[in-house]
């Protein structure tokens, strides 16, 4: 039996999305949201992160209970500050995340 250990671009993209999900879930906890709260999500990150998120946006939304997701490849669009989580994913790719609870969703 031979095990293929190559990481395909598809696997790498899904891995990035799962890293972002982890960051979003931590931002939800830090904001004091209930596990079942629906959210509006904004994620800005370096181009490889943005590409992975746009390709797998539904996975991101399903895993984080997001009813809306704004995604961009320009970190300047979401400046650091109150309510904005900063992290790195993958091989040190920067991203910023903002979560807002959606009432009545």
Q: Summarize pLDDT for 19-60 with one digit per residue, the tens.
A: 999 999 999 999 999 999 999 999 999 999 999 999 999 999
pTM of the model: 0.91
CATH number of this structure's domain 9-101: 3.30.2320
Residue recorded with tokens 């320009």: 74
**Residue 11 CB burial class (10 angstroms; 0-12, 13-18, ≥19):** exposed
The residues, ordered by sequence, that sit 6+ positions from 6 with a Cβ below 8 Å of its Cβ are none
99 pairs with which residues across the strands?
41
pLDDT reported for residue 3 = 83
On average, the pLDDT of the chain sits at 95
**Per-residue pLDDT band at 105 (split at 50, 70, 90):** low
Nearest alpha carbon to residue 57 among 9, 92, 49, 33: 49
């Amino acid at each position: 039996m031979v095990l293929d250990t190559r990481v395909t671009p598809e696997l790498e993209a899904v891995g990035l999305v799962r890293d972002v999900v982890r960051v979003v879930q931590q931002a939800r906890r830090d904001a004091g949201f209930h596990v079942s709260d629906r959210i509006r999500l904004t994620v800005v990150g370096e181009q490889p992160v943005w590409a992975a998120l746009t390709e797998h946006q539904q996975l991101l939304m399903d895993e984080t209970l997001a009813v809306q997701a704004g995604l961009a490849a320009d970190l300047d669009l979401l400046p650091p500050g109150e309510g904005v989580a900063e992290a790195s994913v993958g091989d040190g790719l920067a991203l910023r995340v903002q979560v807002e609870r959606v009432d009545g969703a």
